[in-house]
């Protein structure tokens, strides 16, 4: 007896998920257009014809409950609707820069499934009525060749996709900074909102490339299918980058809501005893391993414990490391990466990095000053870069409270010289 095969990618178990990545595919290979269409079927543009079709596509994405995968978790359907309703012909910007060095998921996605992202760009452009789209990647990225090769295979796209190389700086890939760079070559954030006034003043949809890839799946298989994975508030699968003290660091596709310890397990498990996990990128949060292990990786469950999920990246910090020294090093990097436009960011972040370094070197006298500074910086920059740095510092003081207490009594850090576990991209 032969049942017809269900062509829709499905979830076998919480640990065996294959939607964005093909099941059992060689992670070092790029799926070409034929392989891509064999697995998922053709780009379903014709399913959503004309104006009513575009509206139906937006509604389908909204009902799917897809949230942006660039860090903020904003509902994608809402953003599509806002840009579609804007004045003038819209533009789509696909954010493939992946400025956070703890994350490698966008690179993995573009390297393995560029056509899924390009499908997503075509569909999003259709939804908001855009005729041009810009795919942003970091300058000199090896992905540029992959993307051009994929674009050459496609001749039916109605949207013109331009590939633009963006400076490899942390804040350059913040949405308003990308738009500013595209408009005048200055990759620093502004106070204008891209969805209202973006590229050349047009309403602009800035979406993470993984978000766009999910749109390509939702458009094919529907919102009910999308919700078969994940949680009610964070539906679907997501790509998570697991690094630090694990046996197989890398990018894994998981169901949203998977307990953090299972994500570490996917990455081969911890390679030594752990103290804490950094979750959400450099502007994310530290959690003690005992609190982190059971945490389901979803927006609402993270919010419940007072942290944002942020960029889905985990760094496992071993017990022998010093979380305060590790954090001081990251804060110095984030201070160096400030765009230098807003006072509390350009002066506050170096000051906070100084304090955290002093703590690591056994100078407890800075503690009061550090707390005061952390209290006044958030919410006062044009972008949320300083807020992220403060969040990392605040959660470090919670998570590594014992280290802080020991340092405050003059005990210098045993690991102040490293080794360090959080990857940082030091600009050339």
Interface residues with another protein (CB under 8 A)? Answer: 68, 71-74, 78-79, 82, 174-176, 189-191, 193-196, 206, 280-281, 283, 303, 306-308, 310-311, 341-345, 347-348, 351, 367-368, 371, 373-376, 378-385, 387-388, 390-391, 394, 397-398, 401
Decide if residue 213 touches ligand FMN (CB under 6 A).
no
Cα-Cα-Cα-Cα dihedral sign, residues 98, 390, 237, 317: positive
State yes or no: residue 72 binds ligand SF4 (CB under 6 A).
no
Beta-ladder partners of 94: 135, 207
**99 vs 169: CA distance, rounded Å:** 7
3-state helix, strand, coil split of the chain in percent (to 5) is 45, 15, 40
Structure tokens at 329: 């090093």
Told to check if 179 binds ligand SF4 by CB under 6 A, we report no
Smallest gap from residue 191 Cβ to ligand FMN (A):
13
Tell me the window of 17-25, 46-54, 324-332, 375-383 that interacts with ligand SF4 (CB under 6 A).
375-383
Q: How many angstroms from the chain centroid is the CA of residue 298?
A: 13
Contact call for residue 71 and ligand FMN (CB under 6 A)? yes
Q: How far is the CB of 350 from ligand SF4 (least distance, A)?
A: 12
**Contact (Cβ atoms closer than 8 angstroms) between residue 213 and residue 1:** no
Can you tell me the distance from the alpha carbon of 39 to that of 18, in angstroms, rounded to the nearest whole number?
11
Give the strands of the sheet with 313-318, arranged side by side: 250-255, 237-244, 313-318, 274-279, 285-288
Q: For residues 354 and 331, what is the distance between their CA atoms, to the nearest angstrom?
A: 9
Q: Does 99 sit near ligand FMN (CB under 6 A)? A: yes
Torsion sign across C-alpha atoms 390, 391, 396, 399: positive
With 0-12 / 13-18 / 19 or more C-beta atoms within 10 angstroms meaning exposed / middle / buried, residue 13 is: exposed
Least distance between ligand FMN and beta carbon 349 (Å): 12
Distance, CA of 180 to CA of 187 (rounded, Å):
6
Residue 136's φ and ψ, nearest 5 degrees, are -100, 130
Residue nearest to ligand FMN (CB): 68
Strand partners, 238: 254
- Minimum distance, C-beta of residue 387 to another protein, in the bound complex (Å): 4
Cis peptide before 118 (omega within 30 of 0): no
**Does residue 231 touch ligand FMN according to CB under 6 A?**
no
Out of 20, 133, 143, 175, which residue is the one contacting ligand FMN (CB under 6 A)? 175
Q: Which of 62, 108, 137, 206 binds ligand FMN (CB under 6 A)?
A: 206
Residue 340 binding result from ligand FMN, ligand SF4, another protein, none, given CB thresholds of 5 to 8 Å by partner type: ligand SF4
d(CA 28, CA 100): 22
From ligand SF4, another protein, ligand FMN, none, which one binds at residue 367 (CB under 5 to 8 Å depending on kind)?
another protein
Does 340 bind ligand FMN (CB under 6 A)? Our answer is no
* Interface characters, 248-267, with ligand FMN (x: CB under 6 A): --------------------
Supply the Cα-derived Rg of the chain in whole angstroms: 22
Part of the chain binding ligand SF4 (CB under 6 A), chosen from 152-160, 283-291, 380-388, 397-405: 380-388
Structure tokens at 62: 């909204």
Between 162 and 402, CB nearer to another protein = 402
Q: Which residues, 324 to 363, sit near ligand SF4 by CB under 6 A?
A: 338-342, 345-346
Question: Cβ 370 to ligand FMN, closest distance in Å?
Answer: 22
Question: Between residues 116 and 394, which has the closer beta carbon with respect to another protein?
Answer: 394
Q: What are the residues binding ligand SF4 (CB under 6 A)?
A: 171, 188-189, 338-342, 345-346, 381-383, 385-386
Q: What are the residues binding ligand FMN (CB under 6 A)?
A: 68-72, 74, 95, 97-99, 170-171, 173-175, 206-208, 211, 383-385
């Amino acid at each position: 007896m032969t049942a017809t095969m269900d062509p829709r990618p499905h979830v076998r178990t919480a640990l065996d998920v294959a939607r964005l990545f093909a099941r059992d595919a060689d992670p070092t290979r790029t799926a070409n257009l034929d392989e891509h269409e064999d697995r998922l079927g053709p780009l379903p543009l014709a399913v959503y014809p004309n104006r009513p079709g575009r509206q139906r596509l937006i509604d389908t994405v909204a009902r799917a409950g897809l949230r942006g995968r660039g860090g903020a978790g904003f509902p994608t359907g809402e953003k599509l609707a806002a840009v579609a309703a804007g004045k003038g012909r819209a533009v789509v910007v696909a954010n493939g820069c992946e400025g956070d060095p703890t994350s490698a998921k966008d690179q993995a996605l573009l390297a393995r499934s560029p056509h899924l992202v390009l499908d997503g760009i075509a569909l999003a452009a259709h939804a908001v009525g855009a005729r041009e789209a810009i795919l942003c990647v970091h300058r000199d990225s090896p992905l540029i060749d992959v993307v051009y090769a994929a674009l050459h295979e496609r001749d039916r796209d109605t949207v013109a996709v331009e590939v633009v190389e963006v400076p490899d700086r942390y804040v350059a890939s913040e949405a308003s900074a990308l738009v500013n760079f595209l408009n005048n070559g200055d990759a620093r954030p502004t106070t204008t909102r891209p969805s209202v006034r973006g590229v050349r003043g047009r309403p602009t949809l800035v979406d993470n490339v993984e978000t766009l890839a999910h749109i390509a799946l939702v458009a094919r298989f529907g919102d009910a299918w999308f919700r078969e994975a994940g949680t009610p508030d964070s539906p679907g699968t997501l790509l998570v980058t697991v690094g630090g003290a694990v046996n197989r660091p890398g990018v894994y596709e998981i169901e949203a809501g998977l307990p953090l310890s299972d994500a570490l397990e996917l990455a081969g498990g911890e390679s030594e005893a752990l103290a804490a996990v950094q979750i959400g990128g450099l502007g994310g949060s530290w959690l003690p391993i005992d609190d982190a292990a059971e945490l389901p990786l979803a927006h609402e469950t993270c919010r419940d414990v007072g942290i944002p999920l942020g960029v889905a990246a985990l760094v496992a910090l071993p017990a022998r490391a010093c979380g305060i020294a590790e954090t001081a090093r990251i804060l110095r990097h984030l201070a160096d990466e400030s765009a230098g436009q807003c006072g509390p960011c350009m002066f506050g972040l170096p000051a906070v990095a100084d304090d955290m370094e002093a703590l690591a070197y056994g100078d407890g006298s800075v503690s009061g000053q550090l707390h005061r500074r952390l209290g006044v910086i958030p919410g006062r920059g044009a972008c949320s870069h300083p807020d992220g740095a403060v969040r990392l510092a605040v959660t470090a003081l919670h998570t590594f409270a014992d280290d802080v207490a020991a340092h405050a009594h003059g005990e210098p850090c045993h690991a102040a010289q490293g080794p360090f576990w959080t990857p940082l991209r030091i600009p050339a």
